[in-house]
Amino acid sequence: KQEVTQIPAALSVPEGENLVLNCSFTDSAIYNLQWFRQDPGKGLTSLLLIQSSQREQTSGRLNASLDKSSGRSTLYIAASQPGDSATYLCAVWNTGNQFYFGTGTSLTVIP
């Protein structure tokens, strides 16, 4: 069964810093990997989707990379802002046709 882990579980940084969130998965037979943000008590907002054949995707200040063979993805956030404070989740869609979520990284950006 696919296991998705995110490190660190929590991260606190001063505004303006660049930061990296990590996601690892045990089964490399995936269709894609998607990064989400979740605000307290709210739904999930899709940030980026990387297909299994891709190495990276960029959207604004966000850059996500994927190394399928080693079972790793990173989400890079440039010039962090207080509005970036949220929980960040990665999720992989397995070729077994189920979507597995990671444990999440809770990010706090201090003004």
Partner 1 sequence: EPEVTQTPSHQVTQMGQEVILRCVPISNHLYFYWYRQILGQKVEFLVSFYNNEISEKSEIFDDQFSVERPDGSNFTLKIRSTKLEDSAMYFCASSEGGAGESYEQYFGPGTRLTVT
By beta-carbon proximity to partner 1, the closer residue of 14 and 53 is: 53
Residues near partner 1, by CB under 8 A: 31-32, 34, 36, 42-46, 49, 51-52, 89, 91, 93, 97-104
CB of 82 to partner 1, least distance (A): 22
- At 102, the amino acid letter reads G
Closer to partner 1 at the Cβ: 74 or 103? 103
Query: 45-75 burial, b if ≥16 CB within 10 A, otherwise e?
Result: eebbbbeeeeeebeeeebbbbbebeebebbb
Dihedral sign of CA atoms 80, 84, 87, 93 in order: negative
Smallest distance from the beta carbon of 49 to partner 1, in angstroms?
5
Closest distance to partner 1 from the beta carbon of 94 (Å) = 8
Q: Which two tokens stand for residue 6?
A: 């995110």
When computed from its CA atoms, the radius of gyration of the chain, rounded to whole angstroms, is 13
Q: 77 vs 100, which CB is nearer to partner 1?
A: 100
Helix or strand (DSSP H, E) at 36: strand 30-38
Nearer to partner 1, 43 or 111 (CB): 43
Work out how close the CB of 14 gets to partner 1 at its nearest, in angstroms, rounded to a whole number: 27
